[in-house]
């Protein structure tokens, strides 16, 4: 089955983008900021928060980084202007991490300063393992510089993540806990589904027992069940945590969690770089890739 799923994703990558786009857009707000603002408004009306991601990573020039900075600043201004319940999610390689770490640091400081003036929180997303150490170092530096409106992501499938968590937990971090989506070698990442689940649960318990605010980002029913169990066991208040899901994924389950009275934040990506994001999501969830491929083939048969 895994081989078939990989073939489905590979087949999607061979198709023209114009065929893939209508289906990919079910999981992306659109290509422009007004699209994201519209989606955030709809989510807020349904008692859900958002976090906006300007799609793109691994830029090749500082000029591209500065363009991404401007796009992020526009998001922050729009969140305030439209009175939206939303944070901003950023990727460091989009803001110059691999070009010049100090240039990236100055970019993030500037962005956090703007966000603080708007009363908005910024989440530093985690990328592939080549950037993990640099991302954590920059996060720690920003916290030591007095920025409290910034959070981090921990990926449960990385073998190093428990050690990374222990490294930052003294700062009472605001953590988004995810399984992880990038393809990594077995030497540094768990590959077995149950191993990843086990580590996710372990890391989640560590965070909750340390009284850290956690964004429990998962669509996995097994992990959602564990999260509910921890909430009951630890007698957590609704303000101590939140659930997080991706836009367009498991909408009925998402709505059920909200109806039960829990906080829910939806990851809302937008931008011209929709294709690479979509392919990574399809790799993460080949069942969606299979559905999309079948739908495209039946539409064009």
Q: Which residues are catalytic?
A: 125, 176
Count CB atoms within 10 A of the CB of residue 231: 18
d(CA 122, CA 150) in angstroms, rounded, equals: 5
- CB-based burial of residue 146 (10 Å sphere; 0-12 exposed, 13-18 middle, 19+ buried)? exposed
The H or E element that residue 255 is part of is helix 251-259
- Structure tokens given for 182: 């990038």
In sequence order, which residues have a C-beta less than 8 Å from that of residue 275 and are 6 or more positions away? 17, 20, 21, 24
d(CA 278, CA 23) in angstroms, rounded, equals: 9
DSSP state of 158: B
Q: Which residues of 209-229 are buried (b: 16+ CB within 10 A; e: fewer)?
A: eeebbbbbbbbeeebbebbee
Q: How far is CA 204 from CA 112, 166, 174, 227, 298, in A?
A: 26, 12, 12, 8, 42
The per-residue DSSP string of 21-61 comes to HHHHTTSS--SSHHHHHHHHHHHHHTT-EEEEEE-----SS
């Amino acid at each position: 089955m895994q081989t078939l799923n990989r073939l489905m994703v590979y087949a999607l990558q061979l198709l023209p983008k114009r065929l893939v786009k209508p289906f990919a857009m079910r999981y992306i707000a659109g290509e422009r900021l007004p699209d994201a603002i519209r989606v955030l408004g709809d989510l807020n009306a349904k008692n859900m928060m958002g976090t906006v991601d300007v799609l793109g990573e691994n830029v090749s020039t500082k000029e591209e980084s500065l363009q991404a900075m401007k796009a992020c600043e526009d998001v922050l201004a729009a969140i305030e202007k439209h009175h939206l319940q939303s944070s901003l999610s950023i990727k460091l390689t989009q803001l110059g991490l691999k070009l010049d770490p100090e240039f990236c640091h100055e970019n993030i400081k500037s962005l956090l300063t703007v966000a603080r003036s708007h009363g908005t929180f910024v989440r530093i997303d985690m990328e592939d393992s080549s950037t993990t150490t640099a991302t954590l170092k920059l996060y720690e530096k920003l916290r030591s510089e007095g920025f409290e409106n910034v959070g981090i992501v921990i990926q449960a499938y990385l073998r190093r993540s428990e050690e990374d968590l222990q490294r930052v937990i003294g700062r009472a971090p605001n953590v988004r806990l995810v399984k992880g989506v990038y393809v990594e070698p077995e030497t540094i990442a768990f590959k077995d589904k149950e191993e990843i689940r086990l580590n996710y649960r372990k890391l989640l318990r560590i965070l909750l027992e340390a009284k850290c605010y956690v964004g429990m980002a998962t669509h996995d029913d097994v992990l959602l069940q564990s999260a509910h169990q921890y909430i009951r066991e630890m007698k957590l208040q609704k303000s101590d945590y939140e659930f997080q899901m991706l836009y367009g994924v498991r909408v009925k389950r998402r709505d059920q969690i909200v109806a039960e009275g829990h906080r829910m934040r939806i990851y809302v990506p937008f931008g011209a770089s929709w294709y690479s994001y979509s392919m990574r999501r399809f790799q993460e969830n080949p069942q969606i890739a299979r559905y999309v491929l079948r739908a495209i083939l039946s539409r064009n048969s």
